[in-house]
């Protein structure tokens, strides 16, 4: 039993220089845990609600004093002295205290910060590593570490919309460890930076998740430049290193259709374009290829490309059980992008994970574009046996905090890196 003694909280800043929430949870017996929550920019409409102050005179309305107030006030009062036997009973109490459908009353940012801080405190009380706590919670014994998907180039909402699609990511596929994946990714990143400088006269400026954002003329140029960087770095594209894209298409879709560069496409047109890309490029994962409310066309996308690439739902699913259920029933996708702050408690995130697993889906555990130096997402990705981990690029300390934590977990567990599913990546030729 874990008895809550008190909560503490404060407003801190995230990697975009916007306020976010930090919380501490003190348990009887002298242990405590703390956690910071991230924040998205390319958010799905069905996400749990981040509580922001809305006061234009402070942080342009983005302040989190109300969310901090939720923790110090109602959540502290409603938890203090209560005993909990599990994360699930704790999170159910958080949900009951808020009692609003999308956690808008106390704020999903406040609620997740407390859910995570309790988890860290409970893990400390159990004397276990945080990833072990997550593994026990999910009922898994991880046999591998997630494969990295690393942001190389950005567009869309993460980079001022110079290209419609949001991210081109590299997937170190032939690597056998996190360490080796990072070696490959950092080499390719440096080469990509040199190409950007040569071709676009572009100094190394980074988008929100650390990807580079030169003024590509099209999504194709963005993808082809990634392939060029892989090959120039000495790797074989499609064997050593594959590609993933986050199309984030909700953000360029309107009543009129999908505005992909200078072309206005129908849903069918969008699917055809994605199919052409999958046929022409070593693309193994397509995230949000269609918009979050284009439910009727997602099954067509899955049947057109699903055997060749993961059809990954981010804005479509919002880590939300009801939406995942709908996607399973309608065969809308075959992979979940899991972000716990889309739903607001660890327990609900875990239920989303179990549901996706029960359908045989792959799961990519993901951080957000506005991150902090907290590294819990690495433990979560390992403990919940994420097939992939999406953590932005290989620069900036809020990203490196997670990679460096993964390296520590790798060193202490010696677990191998997960193998990409199916036969989407050709077996590398090893010398
Ligand atoms: P975010 O989006 O800006 O909402 O964190 C990242 C993503 O779309 O995967
Ligand atoms: Zn996304």
pTM: 0.97
Taking alpha carbons only, the member of 136, 36, 127 closest to residue 86 is: 136
Which protein residues touch ligand 1 with a CB less than 6 Å away? 40-43, 166, 246, 248, 314, 366, 368-369
Which residue's CA lies nearest to atom 2 of ligand 1? 42
List the pLDDT tens digit at each of the 431 positions of the chain. Answer: 999 999 999 999 999 999 999 999 999 999 999 999 999 998 999 999 999 999 999 999 999 999 999 999 999 999 999 999 999 999 999 999 999 999 999 999 999 999 999 999 999 999 999 999 999 999 989 999 999 999 999 998 878 778 999 999 999 999 999 999 999 999 999 999 999 999 998 877 889 999 999 999 999 999 999 999 999 999 999 999 999 999 999 999 999 999 999 999 999 999 999 999 999 999 999 999 999 999 999 999 999 999 999 999 999 999 999 999 999 999 999 999 999 999 999 999 999 999 999 999 999 999 999 999 999 999 999 999 999 999 999 999 999 999 999 999 999 999 999 988 876 676 655 54
Which pLDDT score is estimated for 158? 79
Which pLDDT score is estimated for 428? 55
List the shell of residues around ion ligand 2, using CB closer than 5 Å.
246, 314
What's the CA-to-centroid distance between 51 and ligand 2, angstroms? 21
Taking alpha carbons only, the member of 96, 92, 107, 7 closest to residue 48 is: 107
Which pLDDT score is estimated for 201? 86
Separation between Cα atoms, residue 24 and residue 7, nearest integer Å: 6
Q: Give the DSSP letter of residue 112.
A: H
Run of H or E residues at 192 = helix 178-200
How remote is the C-alpha of 366 from its chain's centroid? Answer: 2
Strands 147-154 and 167-172: antiparallel
Which pLDDT score is estimated for 423? 62
**Cα 362 to Cα 178, 216, 320, distances in angstroms:** 19, 31, 16
What's the CA-to-centroid distance between 314 and ligand 2, angstroms? 5
Which residue's CA lies nearest to atom 7 of ligand 1? 42
User: Has 74 been annotated as catalytic?
Assistant: no
Residue 224 token pair? 């082809």
């Amino acid at each position: 039993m874990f008895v809550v003694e008190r909560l503490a909280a404060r407003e801190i800043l995230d990697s975009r220089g916007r306020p976010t929430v930090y919380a501490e949870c003190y348990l009887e017996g002298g242990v405590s845990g703390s956690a910071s929550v991230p924040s998205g920019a390319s958010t799905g409409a069905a996400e749990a609600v981040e509580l922001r102050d809305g006061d234009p005179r402070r942080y342009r309305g983005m302040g989190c004093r109300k969310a901090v107030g939720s923790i110090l006030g109602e959540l502290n009062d409603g938890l203090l002295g209560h005993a909990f036997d599990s994360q699930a009973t704790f999170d159910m109490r958080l949900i009951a205290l808020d009692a609003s459908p999308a956690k808008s009353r106390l704020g999903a940012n406040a609620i997740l910060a407390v859910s995570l801080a309790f988890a860290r405190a409970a893990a400390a009380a159990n004397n276990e590593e945080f990833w072990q706590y997550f593994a026990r919670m999910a009922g898994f014994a991880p046999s591998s570490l997630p494969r990295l998907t690393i942001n190389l180039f950005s567009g869309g909402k993460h980079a001022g919309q110079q290209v419609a699609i949001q991210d081109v990511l590299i997937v170190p596929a032939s690597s056998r460890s996190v360490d080796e994946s990072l070696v490959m990714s950092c080499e390719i990143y440096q080469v990509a930076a040199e190409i950007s400088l040569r071709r676009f006269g572009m100094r190394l400026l980074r988008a929100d998740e650390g990807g580079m954002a030169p003024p590509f003329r099209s999504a194709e140029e963005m993808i082809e430049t990634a392939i060029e960087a892989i090959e120039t770095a000495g790797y074989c594209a499609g064997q050593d290193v594959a590609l993933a894209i986050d199309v984030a298409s909700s953000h360029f879709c309107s009543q009129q259709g999908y505005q992909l560069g200078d072309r206005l496409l129908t849903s069918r047109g969008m699917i055809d374009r994605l199919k052409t890309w999958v046929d022409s490029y070593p693309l193994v994962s397509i995230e949000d290829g269609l918009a979050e409310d284009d439910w009727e066309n997602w099954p067509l996308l899955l049947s057109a490309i699903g055997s060749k690439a993961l059809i990954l739902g981010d804005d479509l699913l919002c880590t939300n059980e009801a939406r995942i259920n709908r996607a399973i029933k309608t065969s809308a996708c075959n992979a979940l992008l899991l972000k716990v702050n889309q739903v607001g408690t660890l327990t609900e995130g875990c239920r989303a994970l179990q549901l996706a697993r029960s359908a045989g889906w792959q799961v990519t555990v993901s951080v957000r574009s506005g991150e902090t130096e907290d590294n819990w997402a690495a433990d979560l990705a390992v403990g919940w046996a994420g097939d992939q981990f999406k953590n932005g690029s290989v620069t900036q300390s809020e990203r490196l905090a997670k990679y460096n934590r993964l390296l520590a977990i790798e060193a202490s567990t010696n677990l191998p890196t997960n193998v990409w599913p199916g036969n989407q990546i050709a077996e590398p030729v090893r010398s």
